[in-house]
Amino acid sequence: MTDPLADVIALLQPRAVFSKGISGAGSWAVRYTAFGHPSFCVVLEGECCLAVDGQAPITLQAGDFVLLPATPAFVMSGVDPVAMPVPVDPTALPEPTGEVRHGNPDGPPDVRLLGGYFVFDSPDAALLVSLLPALLHVRGIERLSVLVQLVNGESRAQRAAGDLVLSRLVEILLIEALRSTSGHDSPPGLLRGLADPRMAQAMRHMHGEPERDWTVAQLAKAAALSRSAFYERFMRTVGVPPMEYLLAWRMALAKTLLRQRELAMAEVAARVGYGSASTFSTAFSRHVGQSPGRYARAN
C-alpha cells in the first residue's frame, strides 16, 4: 500500500547544496538568523547546546542528529561557560574552504560537528514542511551519521553525476531521520498521524487513491471509527480536517502533473479526483490563486 511519508518526501524534491565541518572550543556562542531552507547536523565528538526559537534548549552529544525542516533562528553554543551569542547571517556568508571554528581558534576542539543544508524544489514545500516537526532530534542512530558523512564527501568530491547521487542521499537521510523519530510525541502533523494506526490507514487510502471520490464517512470506515470519532481524532493528530488534508494533497499532486506538461487537463483532473476539467479548474484556481493552464505555463 502507498506510503504517505515516502510520498511527501518524493514530492518535496530535496537536493543537497552544501555541507561543512564545524568545531568549537572554549567559551563561544553564535546566533543564526532564520534561514528557511532545511538544515541538518550530526555531532562527531564532544557536546554543545542548541536553542531553536520556539523550542526547548537541548544538549547535543556525540552521535546525535538534528534536522530543522525550515530552520528558524537558533543559538548554538559551548556547554560551559556561557558566552554572549555572536550574530550570524547564513545567507551572507561565503562558503568556507575548511572547517568553521567557533571560540578559541587554537588547540583541540571541545566539539566537532558535520552540518549542512539543502533545498526543496517543490513549490509546495511550505505546505508539506508544515506537516513535519519544527525540530527533529535523534540520538544513537549510527546510520544517520554515516549518511551525513556520505553527503559531505559527495558534495566535496565534484564527481560525475554528483547532483543525482546527492539528491538520492538526502532523500534517504530525510526518510531515516523522520522514521527514527517517535511520532507519538510529535506535534500534530504527518508523523503523529502516521504513528496512529487508524489515522495512518486513512492517510494511506488518501495517498493511494487520490482520484477516488472520498467522503469523511468512507475514510472513517477505512479507519474503523465512527464519523465523529474519526474527524476529531484526525484533527487532533494531523492538525487539519481530513478533507482539507486530502485537498492539499490533491493540489500538490496536480501541480506536479501540470509542471510535467505530459497530460491533458481532463486527465490531470481525473488523476486528482475531479470529474471534469472545468470543476478541477475552479477548485485549483480557488486553492492556488491562478488557473491550471496559467500555472503550467508559468512553471
End of a domain among 181, 209, 228?
A: 181
In whole angstroms, give the CA distance from residue 233 to residue 230.
5
Give the HSE-up count for residue 154: Cα atoms under 13 Å, Cβ half-sphere: 21
3-class state of residue 183 by DSSP: helix
Per-residue pLDDT of the chain (299 residues; tens, 9 = 90+): 578 888 888 888 888 778 888 999 999 999 999 988 999 999 999 999 999 999 999 999 999 999 999 999 999 999 877 789 999 888 776 666 678 999 999 889 999 998 889 888 887 788 778 888 889 999 988 888 888 888 888 877 778 887 888 888 888 888 888 888 766 777 888 889 999 999 999 999 999 999 999 999 999 999 999 999 999 999 999 999 999 999 999 999 999 999 888 999 999 999 999 999 999 999 999 999 999 999 988 87
DSSP state of 224: T
What pLDDT does 153 receive? 84
Residues 134, 94 share a domain: yes
CATH of the domain at 243: 1.10.10.60
Give the residues across from 87 on adjacent strands: 31
Residues 51, 70 share a domain: yes
What pLDDT does 131 receive? 82
Q: Are 170 and 116 in contact (CB under 8 A)?
A: no
Residues 136, 17 share a domain: yes
Task: Tell the residue number behind the cell numbers 554515516, with chain if given.
Answer: 146
- The number of beta carbons lying within 10 Å of the beta carbon of residue 121 is 12
What pLDDT does 96 receive? 63
Instruction: Output the CA angle 266-270-275, nearest 5 degrees.
Output: 85
Which range of residues forms the domain containing residue 211? 190-298
Residues 62, 98 share a domain: yes
What pLDDT does 173 receive? 87
Grid cell, residue 48, equals 554543545
Task: Tell the residue number behind the cell numbers 565534484, with chain if given.
Answer: 158
Residues 287, 224 share a domain: yes
In whole angstroms, give the CA distance from residue 121 to residue 141.
27
Residues 111, 173 share a domain: yes
What pLDDT does 126 receive? 82
Residues 254, 158 share a domain: no
Give the residues across from 120 on adjacent strands: 14
Closest CA to 73 of 118, 134, 138, 12: 134
Residues 145, 48 share a domain: yes
End of a domain among 148, 181, 214?
A: 181
What pLDDT does 218 receive? 97
Helix pair angle (227-238, 242-260), 10° resolution: 60
End of a domain among 159, 181, 203?
A: 181
Residues 206, 152 share a domain: no
Task: Tell the residue number behind the cell numbers 544517520, with chain if given.
Answer: 144
In whole angstroms, give the CA distance from residue 19 to residue 158.
13
DSSP state of 161: T
Closest CA to 132 of 288, 14, 282, 250: 14
Q: Are 219 and 230 in contact (CB under 8 A)?
A: yes
Give Cα separations from 211 to 49, 253, 273, 274 (angstroms). Answer: 47, 11, 4, 7
- The number of beta carbons lying within 10 Å of the beta carbon of residue 92 is 7
Residues 236, 128 share a domain: no
What pLDDT does 77 receive? 95
Residues 169, 39 share a domain: yes
Could you tell me how many residues make up the chain? 299
3-class state of residue 80 by DSSP: coil
Question: What total number of domains does the chain contain?
Answer: 2
DSSP state of 185: G
Residues 227, 174 share a domain: no
- The number of beta carbons lying within 10 Å of the beta carbon of residue 87 is 10
Helix pair angle (197-208, 227-238), 10° resolution: 90
CATH of the domain at 96: 2.60.120.280
Considering the entire predicted model, what is its pTM? Answer: 0.81
